[in-house]
Amino acid sequence: MTTARSCGSCSLCCKVMAVSAIPKGRGVWCPHASQTGAGCAIYADRPAPCRNWSCVWVSGHPALLEADRPDKTGVVANRDGARQISLHESRSGALEGVAELVNRLVAAGETVSLIPVAGRPTAVGAEADEARRRLARLEKLRR
């Protein structure tokens, strides 16, 4: 069972996710975002990618607890496919604190890609080999 949640004062998606319509890259604060929890300055007119996207925590994935809220963990969970979730680090070292979350997601049948601020992404779970190949292709595109 999934129960949708509210973002509340969290706005980390505005940092970790790339939005070409603004334009802003991954890991850079959106110029329209408040870093103090006041929300988006263009919320009513935000572009479609922002309007249509929500993190896995907000979507109510049953493996994510209240304590897994992105502004508490420093990690934003993105749905990449039917059974694939990427965890995007918002600050260096944040992924080190979510091992229990990764274990819960893998136990729920998810393949998890870990996307650090710096360094190489990695994948764990049932479809990890395919996820690693996908991540390698993405890394080549970044260069």
Please determine, for residue 2, whether its predicted confidence score (pLDDT) is greater than 70. Answer: no
Q: Which of 31, 81, 85 has its CA nearest to residue 55? A: 85
Confidence of residue 117 (pLDDT cuts 50, 70, 90): confident
d(CA 118, CA 13): 17
pLDDT tens digits along 55-92: 999 999 999 999 999 999 999 999 988 888 999 999 99
Please determine, for residue 3, whether its predicted confidence score (pLDDT) is greater than 90. Answer: no
Beta-bridge partner residues of 24: 19
**Residue-range domain boundaries for the chain:** 9-53, 54-143
The pairing of beta strand 84-89 with beta strand 111-115? parallel
pTM for the predicted model, two decimal places: 0.80
Confidence of residue 140 (pLDDT cuts 50, 70, 90): low
